[in-house]
């Protein structure tokens, strides 16, 4: 990647395809070259063999013609017949010379040479005895030449068969070479393709991980992508966005912290004043005035709860250090349940509790907040005379707490959003007390700090089913 850095991911993909196809293209070129070379060589060799066979047949025919010319000359003593013999003999010599120029095996070349020598000897006898050819045994001499020509013809025909067999053997050998080449190239191409896929997907995976971290609110890891220039520029822009989101998140936390503390001071004054009025210290109240004071006290308590939620969420998102200690999870759940007796009586709700004895290592204050928020939501959304089921068990090194109510439930499209800060679903509920939408966000933050998780269990039944999983042990225990 350092030696070659493409300008874009598209160029990287095209280069990768070219690199993967390059061995295949080279193999095809080699195959085409080998097949072409084999075809040309086979055609040439077979052509020579066929030409040798045709020339051998011509030699046999020419010897027969020369014998007939000489016999006719012996009978008729016509000079014209002798000239015809001379012409046919010239053709014979030309055929023999053409045969000798071909790339023949040594055995066949020796036969051609011997035929030429014997024919020259016979022709010398004919030249010396032109006036009386009856003294020459033409039949015996030409029969010898004819046998030699027949042997040349036979070996030429065999040469055709041998060249065809050699061509088939060469073709089979070439086929084996190509098969071995393909067998060697396939793993090479697969390895090269795998390497290029990793090369292409690695920056994309890092980009995906970075986007997921940003979406999950984790801005702690700087983003730096190595790859094509367009991906590097995208990484730089995402890192800039990460920095901006960090600043926005810091501003939001500072705002929450400041506004929460600023609200507590006037709220304290309002509560103290409403309590003095309720105690009739300034003077006796009429029934209408008492209703107003009761309304002020109720809403001041609600406002205090909202401010406390803001402060708790702000502390939860600041990665506060856990004060870990060993505790009985089931005992803590029972303690929180006991705090809801008045709410249960007022709404005529009842708890169905199934708690196993489970010990965990956790921050007791944060775990109490987790349980309280879950039960608070269940009570708030439950109809009057409703049932809330609470069960606790341990499984695979985790404590599992389930809280189920009989309220309107959580819409499928909202099951992921309800853990976001300040998100309030559209589902209606019976309680007149409205929250900030921070309860489940705080639960998520505290569980995440403990290495746990929370999820919505969708069983197709009425109501909401929340499940938390908390590790039984932490890395260290601090008192």
* Residue range(s) defining the domain that contains residue 31: 9-197
Distance CA 136, CA 139 (A): 9
CATH number of the domain within which 461 lies: 3.30.565.10
The answer to whether residues 376 and 306 touch, using CB atoms and an 8 Å cutoff, is: no
- Please tell me whether residues 344 and 252 are part of one structural domain: no
Q: Which of 272, 301, 330 is the last residue before a domain boundary?
A: 301
Q: Is 328 helix (H, G, I), strand (E, B) or coil?
A: strand
Instruction: Return the structure tokens found at 82.
Output: 């002798």
Whether 52 maps to a domain, the answer reads yes
Residue 366 shares a structural domain with residue 275: no
CA quadruple 294, 298, 300, 301: dihedral sign: positive
pLDDT at 382 (0 to 100): 86
Q: Is residue 121 part of a domain?
A: yes
Residue 354 and residue 236 in one domain: no
H or E element at residue 337: helix 329-338
Q: Say if 180 falls within a structural domain.
A: yes
Q: Is residue 218 part of a domain?
A: no
Q: Does some domain include residue 309?
A: no
- Shared-domain flag, residues 47 and 178: yes
**Are residue 332 and residue 372 in the same domain, yes or no?**
yes
What lies within 8 Å, CB to CB, of 171 at 6+ separation is 38, 42
Section 443-454 average pLDDT: 86
DSSP 419: G
pLDDT of residue 127: 77
Q: Who has greater pLDDT, 425 or 390?
A: 390
Judgement on whether residues 282 and 344 belong to the same structural domain of the protein: no
Query: Is 242 found in the same domain as 116?
Result: no
Banded pLDDT at 331 (limits 50, 70, 90): very high
Highest mean pLDDT, choosing among 43-52, 61-70, 134-143, 241-250: 61-70
Q: How many helices (H) and strands (E) does the chain have?
A: 10, 7
Residues 20 and 128 occupy one common structural domain:
yes
> Which H or E run contains 324?
strand 324-328
Residue with tokens 């707490």: 401
Smallest Cα–Cα separation from 117: which of 101, 98, 141? 141
Contact 467, 477 (CB under 8 A): no
**Closest C-alpha among 414, 388, 399 to residue 359:** 399
Whether residues 50 and 142 share a domain: the answer is: yes
Would the pLDDT of 252 be above 90?
no
Residue in 50, 29, 49, 31 with CA at minimum distance from that of residue 39 = 31
Q: How confident is the model at residue 478 (pLDDT cuts 50, 70, 90)?
A: very low
**Residue 63 in contact with residue 71, Cβ under 8 Å?**
no
Mark whether 94 and 171 lie in a shared domain.
Answer: yes
**How many structural domains comprise the chain?**
3
Residue in the block written with tokens 């009570």: 379
Which residues, 6+ apart, have CB-to-CB distance to 19 below 8 Å?
A: 192, 196
Last residue of a domain, one of 197, 213, 242: 197
The average pLDDT across 102-109 equals 84
User: 328 forms bridges with which residues in the sheet?
Assistant: 359
- CA-CA distance, 225 to 196, in Å (whole number)? 17
For residue 56, the model assigns a pLDDT of 83
Q: What is the DSSP letter of 19?
A: H
CA–CA distance, 132 with 373 (Å, rounded to integer): 141
Distance CA 6, CA 171 (A): 43
Answer yes or no: do 158 and 281 share one domain. Answer: no
**Residue 439 class from Cβ within 10 Å (0-12 exposed, 13-18 middle, 19+ buried)?**
buried
**Same domain as 182, residue 63:** yes
179 inside domain: yes
pLDDT score of 419 more than 70 = no
* Pairwise CA distance, residues 314 & 250, whole Å: 10
Residue 288 lies in a domain: yes
Cα radius of gyration rounded to whole Å, the chain: 53
Three-state SS annotation for 360-404: EEEEHHHHHHHHHHHHHHHHHHCCCCCEEEEEEEEECCEEEEEEE
Return the pLDDT at 334.
Answer: 92
Confidence of residue 402 (pLDDT cuts 50, 70, 90): very high
Residue with the bigger pLDDT between 127 and 457: it is: 457
Bigger pLDDT: 380 or 264? 380
Left, alpha or beta for 283 (phi > 0: left; psi -120 to 50: alpha)? left
pTM of the shown model: 0.45
Q: Does 145 fall in a domain?
A: yes
Q: Which residues contact 366 (CB under 8 A, 6 or more apart)?
A: 316, 322, 446, 449, 450
H-run or E-run covering 453 = strand 453-456
* Confidence band for 450, pLDDT divided at 50, 70 and 90: confident
| Alpha carbons 417 and 211: distance in angstroms, whole number | 18
């Amino acid at each position: 990647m350092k030696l070659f850095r493409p300008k874009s991911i598209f160029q990287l993909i095209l280069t990768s395809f070219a690199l993967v196809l390059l061995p295949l293209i080279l193999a095809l070129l080699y195959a085409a070259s080998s097949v072409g070379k084999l075809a040309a060589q086979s055609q040439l060799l077979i052509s020579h063999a066929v030409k040798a066979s045709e020339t051998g047949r011509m030699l046999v025919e020419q010897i027969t013609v020369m014998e007939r010319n000489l016999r006719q000359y012996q009978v008729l003593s016509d000079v014209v017949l002798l000239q015809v013999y001379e012409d046919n003999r010239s053709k014979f010599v030309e055929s023999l010379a053409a045969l000798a120029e071909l790339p023949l095996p040594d055995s066949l070349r020796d036969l051609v040479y011997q035929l030429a020598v014997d024919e020259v000897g016979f022709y010398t006898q004919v030249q010396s005895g032109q006036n009386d050819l009856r003294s020459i045994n033409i039949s015996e001499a030409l029969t010898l030449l004819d046998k030699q020509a027949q042997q040349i013809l036979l070996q030429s025909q065999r040469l055709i068969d041998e060249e065809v067999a050699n061509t088939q053997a060469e073709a089979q050998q070439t086929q084996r070479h190509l098969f071995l080449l393909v067998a060697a190239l396939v793993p090479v191409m697969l390895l090269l393709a795998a390497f290029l896929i990793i090369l292409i997907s690695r920056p994309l995976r890092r980009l995906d991980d970075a986007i997921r971290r940003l979406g999950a609110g984790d801005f702690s890891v700087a983003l730096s992508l190595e790859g094509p220039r367009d991906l590097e520029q995208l990484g730089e822009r995402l890192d800039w966005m990460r920095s901006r989101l960090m600043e926005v998140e810091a501003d939001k936390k500072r705002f929450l912290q400041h506004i929460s503390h600023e609200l507590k001071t006037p709220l304290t004054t309002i509560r103290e004043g409403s309590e003095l009025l309720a105690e009739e210290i300034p003077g006796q109240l009429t029934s209408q005035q008492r209703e107003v004071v009761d309304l002020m006290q109720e809403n001041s308590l609600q406002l205090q709860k909202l401010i406390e939620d803001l402060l708790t969420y702000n502390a939860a998102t600041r990665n506060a250090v856990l004060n870990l200690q060993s505790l009985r999870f089931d005992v803590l759940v029972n303690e929180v349940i006991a705090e809801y007796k008045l709410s249960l009586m007022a709404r005529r709700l009842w708890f169905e509790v199934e708690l196993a004895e489970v010990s965990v290592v956790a921050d007791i204050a944060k775990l109490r907040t987790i349980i309280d928020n879950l039960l608070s939501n269940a009570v708030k959304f439950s109809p009057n005379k409703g049932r809330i089921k609470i069960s606790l068990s341990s499984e695979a090194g985790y404590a599992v707490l389930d809280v189920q109510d009989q309220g309107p439930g959580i819409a499928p499209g909202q099951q992921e959003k309800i853990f976001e800060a300040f998100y309030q679903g559209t589902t209606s509920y019976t309680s007149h007390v409205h929250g900030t939408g921070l309860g489940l966000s705080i639960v998520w933050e505290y569980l995440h700090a403990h290495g746990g998780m929370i999820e919505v269990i969708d069983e197709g039944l009425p109501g909401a089913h929340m499940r938390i999983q908390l590790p039984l042990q932490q890395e260290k225990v601090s008192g």
